[in-house]
Amino acid sequence: MIDDTISAIATAVGEAGLSVIRISGPDALPIAERCFRPIGQRSSKPTAAESHTVHYGKIVKQNALIDEVLLTVLRAPRTFTKEDVVEISCHGGLIPTKLVLDTILENGARLAEPGEFTKRAFLNGRIDLTQAEAVADVIHSKTDLALRAANEQLAGKLSKRIETLREDLLKILAHIEAHIDFPDEDIAPDTKNSLIEKLERGIQFMDALLASAPEGQILRNGVRTAIIGRPNAGKSSLLNCLLGKDRAIVSNTAGTTRDTIEETANIRGIPIVFIDTAGLRESSDQIEQEGIRRSQESLGNADLILHVIDASQGLTDYESDLLKQYSEKTKLIVLNKSDLPSDIKLEGKLSDTAIPISCETGAGLETLRDKIRAAVWSGQVEGEMLEVMINSRHQAALLRAKESTKITTQALKDDLTLELVALDLRIAVTAIGEIVGKTSTDDLLDKIFSEFCLGK
């Protein structure tokens, strides 16, 4: 039972047109009433107000006006947390927002922990654990495609598939445990073969879900893409072109970029985290050397490399060595300044895959965007794919469940004792249950919800 009432700012902190302070819990309405004074005949005290109504009034502290507000009353169970909820819209700004929140806390509410509103929605049975995670995915989505995938999960599309898998495994487990309770009755060969077929279908189902993990990671975290090349090749210009804004300083002076710059761009629906690096060359300048060291570190952690080459100049030995050094990485060769006479000579595969562009005229940039997307995302994005894009936690649980299910299947085939068969199948069912929160620990819940923002 949750017997306390929590409150927090539900909007971003800063100056804005308005801020929203949320209160949730059994005493949400009485607490709001202690500091809210309705104005006008149509406004009511929170405890007397009907559900899903908005009331104009003011927040007061010791009879002193804090702010004029709109107060929304949402009575359980038709609320996000399935508890009584009050949302107060006040003027945006650090001071009025803080004073309104402080007044609510002084009247009996407790400051909410990160993600605690969503955690209560889960604990009260309104959503399962995958849907709770989807709330954070919606908030942090960086592209329309990522938002679509998060909304599909929030709607329960992934949950339904996981629940179906779990129910199928539970039925098999119940069948096996029934034979354990009645040891005199052996499992008939036809029945055993049927159970094995069902387990193998479950493994295939898990494989299909696991296949969505790479795309799910991309949509949630983006693709780390290092932009490398020698000084004045046009790396910062390319970053600015792909972002559509002047983020990096562009200068004819070599070595302008001394540190790595990270920005996320929407490239054909895929979030790409571009890392503009210091020009790679041999240098005696201590600061530039540190910038080059950080650039090489970014290269090691990158999922994709954009190697920018000045097409108006020849390929240096240093750049040739770089191409060989990171040959195992997925990379695209970008020939910048293609509007100028070219003096570049590439051989074999490098020549076939090089993309000529001009940051000055914009030529080739759309082709580059297509190539970036093709390098990190295979095939077309279908609605069914977006429904089941699992995250790393789901992936780990499914891998454990798959391994235990495979052991169970083999144990049945080898006619091992049913107690051993049931033991591994219980491990699989428990792992599947972790995904939707049917089997979860306090540590797991604390870890998941601690990554949420304070007012969600």
Domain-embedded: residue 118:
no
Domain-embedded: residue 310:
yes
Give the model confidence (pLDDT) of 285-328 as tens digits.
Answer: 555 556 566 666 667 678 898 888 888 876 777 777 776 777 77
- pLDDT at site 258: 44
- pLDDT at site 379: 58
- pLDDT at site 41: 86
The stretch 82-95 carries a mean pLDDT of 94
Confidence of residue 369 (pLDDT cuts 50, 70, 90): very high
Count Cβ atoms within 10 A of the Cβ of residue 410 and give its class: 0-12 exposed, 13-18 middle, 19 or more buried.
middle
Domain-embedded: residue 382:
no
- CB burial readout 190-210, b (16+ within 10 A) else e: eebeebbeebeebbebbeebe
| Whether residue 343 sits in one domain with residue 270 | yes
| Whether residue 170 sits in one domain with residue 108 | no
338: nearest Cα among 357, 364, 318? 357
Give the model confidence (pLDDT) of 104-128 as tens digits.
Answer: 999 999 999 999 999 999 999 999 9
Give the model confidence (pLDDT) of 177-199 as tens digits.
Answer: 887 877 666 677 788 889 999 99
Domain-embedded: residue 119:
no
Phi, psi of 291 (to 5 degrees): -60, -40
| Whether residue 82 sits in one domain with residue 24 | yes
Average pLDDT, the chain: 84
The stretch 70-99 carries a mean pLDDT of 95
Domain-embedded: residue 383:
no
Q: Which two tokens stand for residue 294?
A: 């950080």
Confidence of residue 349 (pLDDT cuts 50, 70, 90): low
Domain-embedded: residue 414:
yes
Look at residues 349, 376, 403 and tell me which one is the last residue of a structural domain.
376
Give the model confidence (pLDDT) of 127-150 as tens digits.
Answer: 999 999 999 889 888 888 888 888
Look at residues 376, 404, 419 and tell me which one is the last residue of a structural domain.
376
- pLDDT at site 214: 83
332: nearest Cα among 302, 305, 370, 364? 305
The dihedral built from the CA positions of residue 72, 76, 79 and 82, taken in this order, carries a sign that is positive
- pLDDT at site 36: 96
Residue matched to tokens 């039925």: 171
Q: Which two tokens stand for residue 146?
A: 């990522």
435: nearest Cα among 39, 65, 160, 29? 160
Name residue 238's beta-bridge partners: none
- pLDDT at site 183: 63
| Whether residue 147 sits in one domain with residue 107 | no
Q: Which two tokens stand for residue 231?
A: 């000084």
Give the model confidence (pLDDT) of 229-286 as tens digits.
Answer: 887 788 888 888 888 867 554 444 444 444 567 888 888 888 998 887 765 555 555 5
Torsion of CA 429, 430, 436, 438, to 10 degrees: 110
CATH number at residue 286: 3.40.50.300
| 403-407 contacts, C-beta under 8 A, 24 or more apart | 404/428, 404/431, 405/169, 405/199, 405/202, 405/203, 405/206, 406/203
What three-state secondary structure class fits 155? coil
CATH number at residue 33: 3.30.1360.120
What three-state secondary structure class fits 65? strand
The stretch 418-441 carries a mean pLDDT of 88
Q: Are 34 and 107 in contact (CB under 8 A)?
A: yes
Pairing between strand 355-356 and 331-336?
parallel
Torsion of CA 344, 348, 352, 355, to 10 degrees: -30
| Whether residue 245 sits in one domain with residue 295 | yes
| Whether residue 282 sits in one domain with residue 234 | yes
Domain hosting residue 354, numbered range = 223-376
| Whether residue 331 sits in one domain with residue 245 | yes
Domain-embedded: residue 455:
no
Give the model confidence (pLDDT) of 375-394 as tens digits.
Answer: 888 655 556 667 778 888 99
Look at residues 376, 401, 422 and tell me which one is the last residue of a structural domain.
376
| Whether residue 172 sits in one domain with residue 67 | no
Q: Are 163 and 183 in contact (CB under 8 A)?
A: no
| Whether residue 270 sits in one domain with residue 340 | yes
Q: Are 121 and 79 in contact (CB under 8 A)?
A: no
Give the other-Cβ count within 10 Å of 63's Cβ.
6
| Whether residue 284 sits in one domain with residue 395 | no
Count of structural domains, the chain: 3
Sheet holding 64-74, edge to edge: 36-38, 53-61, 64-74, 85-91, 18-24, 6-9, 110-111
Confidence of residue 401 (pLDDT cuts 50, 70, 90): very high
Give the other-Cβ count within 10 Å of 244's Cβ.
9
| Whether residue 403 sits in one domain with residue 272 | no
% of the chain exceeding 70 in pLDDT: 85
| Whether residue 227 sits in one domain with residue 208 | no
pTM: 0.78
Domain-embedded: residue 67:
yes
% of the chain exceeding 90 in pLDDT: 40
| 101 Cα distance to chain centroid | 29
- pLDDT at site 256: 47
